[in-house]
Amino acid sequence: MSMDHIDNTPPATTDNAADVDMPWAPRDCEWSGSAAEARALAWADGDPHKLACVFLYRNPDPSKNPARENDYKFPVADIIDGEPRRVFRAVTHAAGRLDQADIPEADRERVRNRITRLYRSAARAFGDPSIRAPWE
């Protein structure tokens, strides 16, 4: 695919966050971050809008290339049957890594809020009110 067909406009979000309303994979879905990232990169094919729907954070620096996967952090989805799906184990992994991430504090708080929303969404989707973000 030639680069002139790719829209490199950053996703239109104020917090560089993934779509928290994406459907969930089964709760017991296995998670391998590196394998899921590779599948997401292949699926997105350089499209920054697709990349942004899989990750909770993108470096907001306007000089960065929004189609470059190295500027994304906290993958919380995998490509299953050709479509992105939230993976609960990915969300728990993101929650565990958040405090060690090298991102600005204001962005960390936005990501924390998104993770909290994902935990609440998972509780509803899986019918388990005991599912809560670690900091709740």
Each of the 136 residues of the chain gets a pLDDT tens digit; together they read 333 333 333 333 334 455 556 899 999 999 998 999 889 889 988 888 888 888 888 877 667 665 655 678 899 999 999 999 999 999 999 999 999 998 889 899 999 999 999 999 999 999 999 999 999 9
Residue 130 in domain: no
Residue 39 in domain: yes
Residue 50 in domain: yes
Closest CA to 71 of 46, 99, 97: 46
90-to-13, 63, 65 alpha-carbon distances in Å: 21, 29, 25
Give the domain extent around 87.
3-20+30-125
Residue 116 in domain: yes
pLDDT of the residue at 1: 35
pLDDT of the residue at 67: 60
Spatial distance between the Cα atoms of 52 and 55, rounded to a whole number of angstroms:
5
Spatial distance between the Cα atoms of 92 and 115, rounded to a whole number of angstroms:
8
Amino acid present at 116: T
State whether residue 40 is helix, strand or coil. helix
Residue 52 in domain: yes
pLDDT of the residue at 22: 83
65-to-47, 61, 72, 107 alpha-carbon distances in Å: 11, 9, 11, 18
Q: Within the chain, what is the greatest distance between any pair of CA atoms?
A: 48
51's tokens: 């990349």
Domains: count for the chain: 1
pLDDT of the residue at 53: 86
Spatial distance between the Cα atoms of 104 and 107, rounded to a whole number of angstroms:
5
* Residues 104 and 90 sit within 8 Å (Cβ to Cβ): no
